[in-house]
Structure 1
Amino acid sequence: MTVIDIIVLIVYFGTMIGIGLWAMRRVKGQEDYFMGGRGFGKLLQTFAAFGAGTGAHEPVQVGRTGWTSGLSGVWSALMWLFVTPIYWFTAVWYRRMRHLTLGDWFVERYNSKALGAAYTLFAIVFYMFYLSTMLSAIAKFSVPLMGVETLWGYELKYILIPTIAAIVIVYGVLGGLTAAYWTDLIQGIFIILLSILLIPFGLLALVKQFGDPATMGIMDGFTILHQRVAADNFSLFAGPSAGEFPPQYIFALTLLALVGIVVQPHFIATGGGSAKSEDEARIGLVVGNLLKRLCTAGWALTALIALALLAGNAEIAADPDRVWGVAAREILGPLNLGLVGLMLACLLAAMMSSADAYMIVTSGLVVRNVYAAYIEPDATEAKCVGVARMTGLIIIVGASIVAIYFSNVFGQFKMAIELPLLFAAPFWIGMVWRRANRTAVWMTISFVAVVFFILPIALPIVNPAMREDPSLTTTTQIVTTTRVREATPVDVAKHEAWETAVAQAEERHADDPERLAAVLKSIGAAPPKAVIGEPITLVNKTGGASIFWTEGVVPIGDSELETVSETEVDGVKTLVQKQTGAMQGKGNFNIDFMLYHLLGIDLGSVSKATLASLRLPPRVVMPFVFLIVVSYLTPRDDKEKLDRYYAKMKTEVDPDPEKDRAKLEASYADPTRFDDRRLVPGGDIEIMRPGRKDIGGFVLSIAVCAAIIGLLVWVAQIGS
């Protein structure tokens, strides 16, 4: 990094801290600190939703999958696209709650302070591990941009993570949600820059390196891109590894995201609860998330440009997670305009814009649903804000410690994104069905915790023999596809980069065979050796995944591959094999697949993506079924409190607090005043008939989603 890059970073960090000090003077009470006084308009709501929903790991994740899978790799992040239209409805819910935290909602809906405390505990665990993955990711991705592995004798993460944490603490803890939203506005602009900055400079670099700058312009970079990269890399729904994201997998992940996202604690703020009115809530949440989907398209195009330009880079061959950092360094660094520092600031913005919102919302839960509920109910507003600031500091520090010292960050990330299932069914069912009650909710939370989080660990400990049970150690079939196509310059460069990466690893770890073996495993098998224009044989092997064990199975004694079938269609040969012999399961037990096992369904012939898809329905559907059944078997909650709650949720928010209170009092006095608008008159279903604005906004959101897919397909054809 040059001096100008460092100056860019210092200015960025100084601006964030300055905003925190400015916002601190505006905080008078809890509503100011946790919700910014509910005075945010469309612009700030949009960038709050955009910033909180965009993590630093996402552009780099798309960079990696785009590098390995072509344009179809965009689905590693674009799978959230189909959830976005539903936000048009949920944003209204969060605003009509009129609460400071989602814990408050659980307390009110189910008349239980203990549920608010339980939700707070979930939020702390969820965000400490979730934020730790972002902190770890930003440290790793900064290495290529900063050009150093160590600083002052320490590994870079030991310096960078505490520094980032300290800056987030200063502006977030001091200024509350107001500071977070204003910094999110700035950071959102930075994230947009992150999404597009490398595209024009990358295309120009392609022209400079592989074309004629005197006669060719920036658009000719697309032509060179297609000349260097194989055609199958430009398909949105097919490609070298498109099997990773088939339609059923995208549908399953969309369902999981839809069910779980609504109970992530920050959604009550960024999802609409801090907006002036319902319109600001809706527009901010939907537009902010659609803006993110557009940025995802930019990330995918950047990955393809990097593939064409840097396929021969040994650093990326050794670790594709570094695509983004290496591309920024190699494309922007030579310009010496401070753009490398700007790119690092953009990556930091993507992380910090999420961290500040998470920190403030979680500290609000601690104050509202633990401190004020159980420790000091009569605490003053100033005292509550002070406790919130201390709590926010603890959360960020805790996440930093986990990021630095935890050994399996990715494993904890996977656990974190499924933790919301604990509270998902009680939220969705409680929102629309008055028969759901407190007892059923506690039993559902216990059911989910035991079945999906405790039993997978406990069962193999209690019954070790199950690890060698032949019916539980089966694997999916191994499918090997072989096809021949003409070699491209990228194919040649990839093989050369692989050879260089292997040679560097062997030299660096010559005295440590175990470390060398691990590094060579991460580098992977050699790409085919190629000559431009001549045929190359591409072999892709999938399957062999353990169905019931998280860390796979290992053979006990001899193991062989038995051929199931061999076919050839349109020049693509497919060999299907299955593994035979005694096996032993490793890791935790995948209890999700027991339902299929008990029903006699053989999962051995499904693909890896289909297997992952089938894991989700039991995990998503069973809590809903359980809650509904138990609700019918247990006593109803207090009718008067339910009438009051549903009357509030049917009362449209007025931006004027005094007028809004008057409207609420009228609803409380006559809880049946909106019954003529119910979709199902009478009974326990509390769903209102959608109006023109509801239907119009939902349809328009779907249309924009379709337009984003169309944009990706169109961009992929430029220069072909």
Structure 2
Amino acid sequence: MTFGSLHILDILIIIAYLVAVVYIGFRASKGASSEEGYFLAGRKLGKLYQFFLNFGNATEPQGAVSTASFVYQQGAPGAWLSFQTVFMNPYFWFMNVWFRRVRLTTVSDLFEDRYASRGLSLFYAIFQILVACVFLGFGNVTAYKIASSLVVKQEAQWTVTERASVEGYNELKSLQKQASVTPLSPEARHRLELLQDRNARGELRSYVTVLNDVAFYAIFTLVVGTYIVLGGMAAAAVNEGLQSVLIIVFSILLIPTGLHAIGGWSALAHKVPKEMFDLFGAGGGAQFTFWSLVGILLISIVQNGGLSHNMGICGSAKNEFAARSGVSGTYLKRLMIIMWVFAGLIAVAMFGVGGLSDPDAVWGAMSNRLLGPGLIGLMLAGVLAGTMSTLAAKALAISSLFVRNVYRQIWPGISQKQGVFYARCTIVAVLLLGTVAATVMGSFYDIVQMVLTVNIPFGAAVLLTYWWRRVTAPAVWACVILSTLCILVVPWTASKVPSIATNPTLAQMSTTPGTGVFFNKVVHQNPDDLSSPLIASASRTNRFNFESWTVSKLGVDVVSMTPTQRFTLQCFFDGLFPFCVLIVVSLLTKPTDPKRVAFFYGKMKTPVGETPELEAAAMEETKRNPTRFDHTKLFPGTNIEFCKWDKVDTIGFISCSALSAAIVGLFLFFLRWAS
């Protein structure tokens, strides 16, 4: 008995996993009667739960699938969109403490607590509810991409359109292979260009699935919603233990089976182009150089500060050291990334460079080729586990934002029990919105670019709030409005405006077919006429490089830049522009109430008490004397709020840095060994 490529054993394993997570949610529901119990698990989670929460939340299947996809296309340098986070771990050693010491429930609370601005608090909550659709949609797309490539139609069941799509793809690959060996005839060259144009439009496929995306999203969302609605953060934390094990299993499965299929470890050097093993090179057309890596790291740090689930995960820790211990979970993810990279390289050896029409389906295609009954079910259970753990944390964060920072602003008198009820309703609504968002998303590369930048406006505001006493509410408003327009709204909507999409200056083709100078995707207006004008593709995720266009107006020749240089320019613009707005507007506007500001930074310097009694006493003393820790400031008498490191800060930072360096060294060792 089978369903597509799924054996009955695979189906039973998946059902068993889904029943288990729902049962855990039911058991955890008993302790989720209050808002603090539901959103923060009563602030009682120790080091082990923090490890699982951080690992599970950081190690999402979309990271595995997208990394394998990028590596399949670009070689080892394609790992940098994920692997650059290895350099963020020393920063997390401090960041986790900030979100614990602020002693709030949501990031929205931060804007009301620091600036006395209910408007900013409300705007952040609404903004994050919309942003959640992107993150939740990404998770849904990942799970579907893998599942759909495992459940494929037999050739006898193809429709005429499906057959034309697959045959067109096979013809494209055949012509590309011929062109790499010998010049094509004019007719063949014309046919190749037509097929490349169709491929850029997403009309060609290497396989056809029988899995309906809407049905898949509906069932998937139902299960996630059930266990999170029941148990809240406690259910998420307990499930992370089970899910973390499955994530590790699904990350490992393809390595030994893949190596066996290609003829062993030594076969990698023979079947994969040598330049694809160069982590710092440009093999396979990779667009990551040293400066682009620095740019990606910059926007990663900035956007990370604005993530809505930071307060829930770090705030649920019972003390500061438990919060900091979560860093160990993110280190385990870095090791997972190395395995994902080798899965991508094994895919190159198996399918050949460009052998798949949809590189995003690499993980599923490998699973379908390599794994037998039972193992495929285990793989899918791991994919579902990782996706669920990520969706759970984000859905919980959004529900707490809605209840505390939207609903309570309108009806402040609701009880704790009512608050939990409305939170559960919000989770259902947000998960449904994520399902809708999944249906309109494109390739992983496009989505990852969106995910990397979508939280930058508020991320910059949150970080500078922690670091600089002079930030004002008007500056935060200016930052989030201008940055949202420049980084998100204009870039992701410009291709939908006919006058922009058809502008010859903007719709210029780069040296890569289908890719433009200012747009990610550029195609001919008439797909059957290669002499027709170029226009921006109508793809749902075709991004306009507003950053390069802006810089070009200042006299910089961005047209002659390489795609790598334009991408790097985009990263630095997105990462620095919000801070420029914050600083300039803050200096031009009236400072926030000094007493409120003094208490906020006094609280941020007050260590969290080991017991509720010690915590209450410490905060009472800080209320009486908010400047009692000002002697710890690195720059006394200034508005800069960096503090001198103590022994724990120093040892932790050095240890994190050394471990990051060791992981990079281990990665390089394996790549050189494989080559």
Q: 1:289 aligns with which of 330, 350, 375?
A: 330
User: Greater share of strand residues, 1 or 2?
Assistant: 1
Tell whether the 8 Å contact from 2:59 to 2:333 is kept in structure 1 after alignment.
yes
Shift of the 410–121 alpha-carbon distance from structure 1 to 2, 3 Å rule, reads: farther
**Per-residue deviation, residues 322-343 of structure 1 (Å, max 9, x unmatched):** 221222222221xx4x111001
Distance 2:674 2:134 in 1: 43
Given the alignment of the two structures, is residue 383 of structure 1 paired with residue 418 of structure 2, yes or no?
A: yes
Tell whether the 8 Å contact from 1:145 to 1:344 is kept in structure 2 after alignment.
no
Q: Which residue of 1 aligns with 2:290?
A: 247
Distance 1:154 1:582 in 2: 37
Task: Report matched runs for 1:394-543 at 5 Å.
Answer: 394-404=429-439, 414-455=449-490, 464=499, 468=503, 470=505, 478=511, 542=512
Distance 2:532 2:87 in 1: 43
Task: Report matched runs for 1:45-444 at 5 Å.
Answer: 45-147=50-152, 155-206=211-262, 210=263, 221-238=264-281, 240-241=283-284, 243-270=286-313, 272-284=314-326, 286-311=327-352, 317-333=356-372, 336=373, 338-375=374-411, 377-404=412-439, 414-444=449-479
Q: 1:593 aligns with which of 548, 562, 566?
A: 548
Tell whether the 8 Å contact from 2:305 to 2:460 is kept in structure 1 after alignment.
no
Tell whether the 8 Å contact from 1:310 to 1:327 is kept in structure 2 after alignment.
no
**Per-residue deviation, residues 191-237 of structure 1 (Å, max 9, x unmatched):** 1111112222333344xxx4xxxxxxxxxx21233233333332222
SS of corresponding position for 1:244: coil
Given the alignment of the two structures, is residue 547 of structure 1 paired with residue 517 of structure 2, yes or no?
A: yes
- Superposed displacement of residue 585, structure 1: 6.4
Distance 2:494 2:133 in 1: 27
Question: Highest relative contact order (Cα 8 Å, sep 6+), 1 or 2?
Answer: 2
Q: 1:671 aligns with which of 606, 619, 626?
A: 626
Shift of the 598–228 alpha-carbon distance from structure 1 to 2, 3 Å rule, reads: closer
Shift of the 265–687 alpha-carbon distance from structure 1 to 2, 3 Å rule, reads: same
Shift of the 654–343 alpha-carbon distance from structure 1 to 2, 3 Å rule, reads: same
**Per-residue deviation, residues 131-180 of structure 1 (Å, max 9, x unmatched):** 11221221121123345599xx9743222211111111111111000101
1:164 counterpart letter in structure 2: F
- Superposed displacement of residue 462, structure 1: 9.6
Shift of the 339–460 alpha-carbon distance from structure 1 to 2, 3 Å rule, reads: closer
Q: Which residue of 2 aligns with 1:616?
A: 571
1:135 counterpart letter in structure 2: N
SS of corresponding position for 1:715: helix
Identity in percent:
31
**Per-residue deviation, residues 598-640 of structure 1 (Å, max 9, x unmatched):** 4322123322111111012222212211111111111111111
Given the alignment of the two structures, is residue 607 of structure 1 paired with residue 562 of structure 2, yes or no?
A: yes
SS of corresponding position for 1:317: coil
Shift of the 28–458 alpha-carbon distance from structure 1 to 2, 3 Å rule, reads: closer
Shift of the 276–302 alpha-carbon distance from structure 1 to 2, 3 Å rule, reads: same
2:226 counterpart letter in structure 1: V
Q: Which moved more, 1:664-673 or 1:303-312?
A: 303-312
Shift of the 456–716 alpha-carbon distance from structure 1 to 2, 3 Å rule, reads: closer
1:8 counterpart letter in structure 2: I
2:318 counterpart letter in structure 1: K
2:399 counterpart letter in structure 1: S
TM-score between the two structures when normalised by the length of structure 2: 0.84
Tell whether the 8 Å contact from 1:129 to 1:413 is kept in structure 2 after alignment.
no
**Per-residue deviation, residues 443-471 of structure 1 (Å, max 9, x unmatched):** 2222223444445588899994896475x
Distance 1:463 1:143 in 2: 34
Tell whether the 8 Å contact from 1:545 to 1:608 is kept in structure 2 after alignment.
no
- Superposed displacement of residue 308, structure 1: 2.7
**Per-residue deviation, residues 625-681 of structure 1 (Å, max 9, x unmatched):** 111111111111111111111111110001311210110110110111111111111
TM-score between the two structures when normalised by the length of structure 1: 0.79
Q: Which moved more, 1:74-83 or 1:544-553?
A: 544-553
Distance 2:650 2:324 in 1: 13
SS of corresponding position for 2:308: coil
2:634 counterpart letter in structure 1: L
Q: Which moved more, 1:39-48 or 1:154-163?
A: 154-163
Q: Which residue of 2 aligns with 1:23?
A: 28
2:343 counterpart letter in structure 1: T
Q: Which moved more, 1:451-460 or 1:112-121?
A: 451-460
Shift of the 11–581 alpha-carbon distance from structure 1 to 2, 3 Å rule, reads: closer
2:236 counterpart letter in structure 1: A
Distance 1:719 1:588 in 2: 36
Q: Which residue of 1 aligns with 2:43?
A: 38
Distance 1:696 1:590 in 2: 42
SS of corresponding position for 1:134: helix
SS of corresponding position for 1:197: helix
